[in-house]
Amino acid sequence: MIYADNAATTKLDIDAFEAMKPFLLEEYGNASQPYSFASSAKRALKKARETIANCIGAFPDEIYFTSGGTESDNWALRGGIRNKSGNIVVSCVEHKAVLNVCKVLSEEGTEIRYIPVDEYGVIEVDCAKSLIDKQTSIVSVMLANNEVGSIQPIEELIEAAHTNGALFHTDAVQAVGHIPIDVKKMGIDLLSASAHKFNGPKGIGFLYVKRGLKIQPYIVGGGQENNLRAGTENVASIVAMAKALEINILRLQNFRVKMSEFEKKLLEILEEAKIDFKVNGSNNKVPGNISISIKDLEGEVLLHRLDLQGICVSTGAACDSKRTQISYVLKEMKVAEEYAFGTIRISLGYENTAEDVRTIGEVLVGIINQGDVCDGKY
């Protein structure tokens, strides 16, 4: 089996797994308790917070543990909004974890303003700046897109947000652990992350909240996370998350070089076979995220055909009961329909090899040349 859907989730790093084991089997005390048995859990939380903060250029007291990216996005937008009668500015290609929160806030009376993107899935900066005004509470633009990998020029918007008294939030779920991030140098106020995107466990993440920023609690109950996020801390997963992120940060540069070589090889295979396709996204993108659209084919069928050959990829479209639908991201990028329907996302990770890439390319070419990939047949 070749796993090439790392933008969806990643394999748990073995060192991260080993780091979490003691807190499942031996040192399982509740970190909120005062007795000595819980002291190791308390120390582990403190160390994990410090490690994560160091990886993104933050202070430890600015890291708040959550259940993942979706909760972090919800908390940032709901907890950070100060005036529901004002407006929120977001890009039109945000993850549903942001867009659906905005939909609910819109129903509650908040105006939502959407930033358009160009053909590469990159926000139109001048338009974005024109949407921000003194009534803007939050500007939320993802650091890297989950479908096509494009990295957004968020630093160009942060100054505009702050000039107008607005907070700046970024959904960095696809970016943390994959590209360098320094929240202080960039001027970010709120940042969302999810461990399972960078070889940590599922069900754990964090929200960076700039020191001094007043944010409302999203989950209430006990006094955990400085009285801002209630619930018994998932110590084992938090420890594993910190370890996984620390490891990924150390290998960032080597990973970027390796992924660049892999993408070049994959595209060469398709080009040599004279496949009619286009690559989606900008040149400045998350390493390993390769979104390709193949003319006059159906991505959903390609996905299933590849699956039968033991290759796991994702599609750039969502399938309903009637027909394949073009994803909203590709629509906003104005990808031509004859290509958009045939979109698949190949997202490579640390464990993928040059042989994996060669196999993916050759199998994909073979499937396309067989025909019957545009009529819904698996």
The answer to the question of residue 3 being in a domain is no
Least confident of 25-29, 285-289, 354-358: 25-29
Q: Are both 19 and 101 inside the same structural domain?
A: yes
Q: Angle at the Cα of 145 (from 53 to 111), degrees rounded to 5? A: 90
The pair of three-digit structure tokens given for residue 110, joined into one six-digit string: 């908040």
- Of 215, 250, 285, the one marking the end of a domain is 250
The pLDDT value recorded for residue 132 is 97
- Of 199, 215, 250, the one marking the end of a domain is 250
The pLDDT value recorded for residue 372 is 57
CB neighbours (10 Å) of residue 321?
Answer: 4
**Whether the Cβ atoms of residue 28 and residue 38 lie closer than 8 Å to each other:** no
Q: Is the confidence at residue 317, as pLDDT, over 60?
A: no
Percent of the chain's residues with pLDDT above 70: 95
User: In angstroms, rounded to a whole number, what is the distance separating the alpha carbons of residues 268 and 265?
Assistant: 5
What total number of domains does the chain contain?
2
Mean pLDDT for all residues in the chain: 94
What are the beta bridge partners of residue 279?
Answer: 292
The pLDDT tens digits of the residues spanning 58-75 come to 999 999 999 999 999 999
Q: CB under 8 Å, gap of 24 or more: what pairs does 190-193 form?
A: 190/76, 190/80, 190/138, 190/215, 191/56, 191/143, 192/69, 192/72, 192/73, 192/76, 193/69, 193/72
The pLDDT value recorded for residue 33 is 87
Q: Which is higher by pLDDT, 82 or 258? A: 258
CB neighbours (10 Å) of residue 169?
Answer: 30
The answer to the question of residue 7 being in a domain is no
Instruction: Quote the domain boundaries for residue 195.
Output: 14-250
Looking up residue 331, the CATH number of its domain turns out to be 3.90.1150.10
Q: Are both 287 and 323 inside the same structural domain?
A: yes
- Of 221, 250, 279, the one marking the end of a domain is 250
197 contact partners, CB below 8 Å, separation of at least 6: 7, 9, 10, 69, 173, 174, 176, 177, 178
Looking up residue 31, the CATH number of its domain turns out to be 3.40.640.10
Q: Are both 333 and 227 inside the same structural domain?
A: no
User: In angstroms, rounded to a whole number, what is the distance separating the alpha carbons of residues 65 and 95?
Assistant: 20
Q: Are both 214 and 274 inside the same structural domain?
A: no
Q: Is the confidence at residue 22, as pLDDT, over 70?
A: yes
Q: Residue 314 phi/psi, 5° resolution?
A: -115, 165
Q: Are both 54 and 179 inside the same structural domain?
A: yes
CB neighbours (10 Å) of residue 335?
Answer: 23
Give the mean model confidence (pLDDT) for residues 111-138. Answer: 97
**Whether the Cβ atoms of residue 240 and residue 201 lie closer than 8 Å to each other:** yes
Q: Is the confidence at residue 319, as pLDDT, over 50?
A: no
Q: Is the confidence at residue 378, as pLDDT, over 70?
A: no
pTM over 0.85: yes
The pLDDT value recorded for residue 139 is 97
Q: Are both 288 and 312 inside the same structural domain?
A: yes
The pLDDT tens digits of the residues spanning 327-369 come to 999 999 999 999 999 999 999 999 999 999 999 999 999 999 9
Q: Are both 202 and 280 inside the same structural domain?
A: no
| Residues forming the active site | 319
Q: Are both 197 and 272 inside the same structural domain?
A: no
